[in-house]
Structure 1
Amino acid sequence: MDHNPVQHETGWDVRQRIRRGEWTRPTQGMAPGYVQANLAILPRDLAADFQRFCALNPKPCPLLATSEPGDPSLPTLGRDIDIRTDIGTYRVWRDGVMVEEVHDIRDLWRDDLVAFLLGCSHSFEEALLADGLPLRHFEEGKPVPVYTTNVPTAPAGPFHGPLVVSMRPFRPADAIRAIQITSRFPSVHGAPVHIGKPEMIGIADLAKVDAGAAVTVAEEELPVFWACGVTPQAVVAATKPPFCITHAPGCMLVTDLLNSRLAVF
């Protein structure tokens, strides 16, 4: 049974609730102050190429940690993490097609699997809110809108595909401030990749999202686009590896790292 987020929870607390099956929904707003991470799990024979893909595409794929092959723990991100049980909902991909969503991947785990954990915009959203900037999807009680663009990522080995972005509307002065704030957090997507004119990056209609939910954009506001950790899922769909596991959009690994420690200045 799902329960509402508890504001004083730590990353450890959230992981225990998820491991017990008490929470399977998105983790936005849970464990304030703690870093959340996107997930991609691939076989070892693709791991080196994917790691290089992340290095070449640090905006959408800011790599926080990589597991050892077959080892579900991630000691640099938190105590007693088990990547097989500690995310509320996983997506299972075969030959580039998402075939099922599950809440536990112990039955799918193999000795050759490598987990990649990538920075998440939930961390920089906390910094925006702390500065008094409004976030429309929070105000409207929705997940952030996500769009697939026509901007290609830099390829590495077999990995290629389009950049995926998340969007938050701001008045121009607030957009400038949002750029300044998020520039301090390169390990969680950093500064925006595009401002205004969504058609220039292949987004014909802001009402038609690829993940999350559409939000209101007022006439005096600019849509501001950040690189998004859903990008690896678009890359998996384009690349078609035989087997891959990702998080379901919004369902993150909540770590023991503090958001405040990610700021570079």
Structure 2
Amino acid sequence: MKQATLPLLQQTSDLRQAIRSKAHTGVTSGLAQGAMQGNVVILPADWANDFLLYCQKNPVSCPLIGVSEVGDFRMPELGNDIDMRHDIPEYYVYRNGEKVESRSDIEDLWQNDMVAFVLGCSFSFEHALSQAGLTPRNIEEDVNVSMFETNIATVPAGRFFGNTVVTMRPYVPKDAIRAIQITTRFPKAHGAPLHFGSPQDIGIADLSKPDYGDAVSIKDGEVPVFWACGVTPQVAIRNAKPPICITHAPGKMLVTDILDTDLAVL
């Protein structure tokens, strides 16, 4: 994978330093545009194979872009100075499937048997949408993207199973078609939408009440467009109940040094 150019590398490094120092604790959508962002799942090694298989069986929801060595908190293939213990604005900590806390670093929780997984994120195609004049509403309104749990089942693997989480961005129909064309080029960032139109068809009762993130305005003539989301593993984690699992908080991603266009199929 290709590293970003020097100006963007400075942005990604500065942003990670701000996150590491706790100067930035918010969402990462719209930041360091042009750099790949990633969802994070950290598990003990004896759970890693099951989760790897879950990703392989569900590549749209869980597009794998990086896996650490056992016990290594660095991700050199994604950035020279990445530290998985500190470089995410907010972590969720799960014990036996229950979210027990959120925190700004996990240094004291890191174990020598842990494996970190980084999954592609739809924030990586938001830059391409914006460049095409289709700036996502969450960026326009400076809020987190809307995320919903659906009735779309993932393929079980080992101890992991559950339904798909989706992100939602509204567009008028002609722009929705263009957005589908653009995002189809980014399979490692969830690719084409899973659904558009009636949210009830995929088990979503109320677009003003997302399960994660923030509600965004939907204007007259717009339809909701739904993409698979890397928060999907957090549902599977609740079901699998590993003794400990650490994830990113929804919308607060790992920002890498890799170009988001490196995810694209040209």
Instruction: Calculate the TM-score normalised by the size of structure 2.
Output: 0.94
State the one-letter code of the partner of 2:134: L
2:76 partner letter: P
Aligned partner of 2:43 in structure 1 is: 42
| Structure 1 counterpart of 2:29 | 28
Structure-1 residue corresponding to 2:120:
119
Q: How far apart are residue 219 of structure 1 and its match?
A: 3.5
Between the aligned partners of 1:222 and 1:135, the Cα distance in structure 2 is 13
Matched residue type, 1:63: L
Correspondence for 2:86? 85
Work out whether residues 126 and 135 of structure 2, in 8 Å CA contact, stay in contact via their aligned partners in 1.
no
Aligned equivalents of 2:21, 2:221: Cα separation in 1: 46
The two structures, once aligned, show a CA RMSD in angstroms of 1.3
How far 1:218 moved relative to its partner?
2.5
Secondary structure, aligned partner of 1:76: coil
3-state SS of the aligned residue for 1:31? coil
Tell me which residue corresponds to 2:157: 156
1:181 alignment partner, SS class: helix
TM (norm. structure 1) is 0.95
Asked whether 1:145 is paired with 2:109, we answer no
Give the match for residue 4 of structure 1.
none
Letter matched to residue 178 of structure 1? A
1:145-173 superposed Cα distances (whole Å, 9 cap, x missing partner): 10000111100000001100000011111
Give the Cα–Cα distance (whole angstroms) in 1 for the partners of residues 16 and 214 of structure 2: 25
- In the alignment of these two chains, the number of paired residues is 259
Matches of 1:136 and 1:80 in 2, distance apart? 32
1:212-227 → structure 2 map (5 Å cutoff)? 212-227=213-228
Partner of 1:97: 98
Amino acid at match of 2:84: I
1:66-103 Cα shifts (integer Å, max 9, x gaps): 00110001110000211001111111000111101111
Q: CA deviation at 1:176?
A: 0.5
Native 8 Å contact 1:10 1:34 kept in 2: no
How far is 1:224 from its partner? 0.4
1:196 Cα deviation from its structure 2 partner: 0.6
Match of 2:118, SS? strand
**Aligned equivalent of 1:19:** 20
1-structure distance, mates of 2:213, 2:159? 28
Identity, % of aligned positions: 55
Structure 2 gaps of 5+ residues are: 1-6
Moved over 6 A (4+): none
- Which amino acid letter does the alignment assign opposite residue 234 of structure 1? V
Contact 1:161 1:239 in 2 (8 A): no
Q: Is the 8 A contact 1:62 1:187 kept in 2?
A: yes
With 215-224 and 33-42 compared, the bigger mean Cα shift is at 215-224
In 2, Cα distance between equivalents of 1:91 and 1:11: 22
Q: What are the ranges of 5 or more consecutive residues in structure 1 without an aligned counterpart? A: 1-6
- Displacement of 1:21 in angstroms is 2.0
